[in-house]
Amino acid sequence: MKVMLVGATGLVGTQVLQLLLDDPRCQTVVAPTRRPLALADAHLLKPVVDFAQLSEAADWWAVDAVICALGTTLKQAGSREAFAQVDHQYPLQVARLARAQGAAAFVLNSAKGADPDSRFFYNRVKGALEQDLRGLGYPSLTLVRPGLIGGDRKEHRAGERVASVVLGALAPVLPRSWRINPAEKIAAAMVEAALQPVPGVRAIEADRLV
């Protein structure tokens, strides 16, 4: 299979990239990024792009499946508008362009509580993206909804670090849906959903990612 991965430099995306490159079912990985990827691999195609101005004519849009691990935080984005652009507009445009070239499966790293009607802005953006993706006609659409993601990030997120310590200590008594979801578990679920697509729309909730 030929799989596109967007968000290849993030916590989950780096794990997804390595899993795809190691999997014999995946012949080629297309990983468009804003900055050049340092990783070199014969099976990796790594176009440098501006996600705000994606080229519809690029031949690398022709893939079998798309995995989207693209995302930011409100603090990093700097505004609600910028956050929505990265977490909603960019993934949706990628999904549209890949679908137009025949992609049959789309796998999204969404979030626990994603809901277009949520009173929380973050969950509302994630829910709106899920809703819009449903309208693109993908034969297979998988919505992965982790809670707090565990792993070593390149950037410092104080709030997440505190939450990780608390949830880690309480893990034995917490319901599975409230436990930390390791990045490698999320990545493995996303890769399997892309390489073994299930027809229709399905969600993989946080309790399955522990």
Question: What whole-number distance in Å separates Cα of residue 209 and Cα of residue 31?
Answer: 24
Q: How many CB atoms lie within 10 A of CB 92?
A: 17
Token pair listed for 89 = 């507009």
Give the pLDDT confidence score for residue 148 in this predicted structure.
85
For 161, list phi and psi in degrees, rounded to 5.
-65, -45
pLDDT at 3 over 70: yes
Is residue 196's pLDDT more than 60?
yes
Give the span between the Cα atoms of 40 and 115, in whole angstroms. 38
pTM: 0.88
The single residue listed with the structure tokens 């509302």 is 124
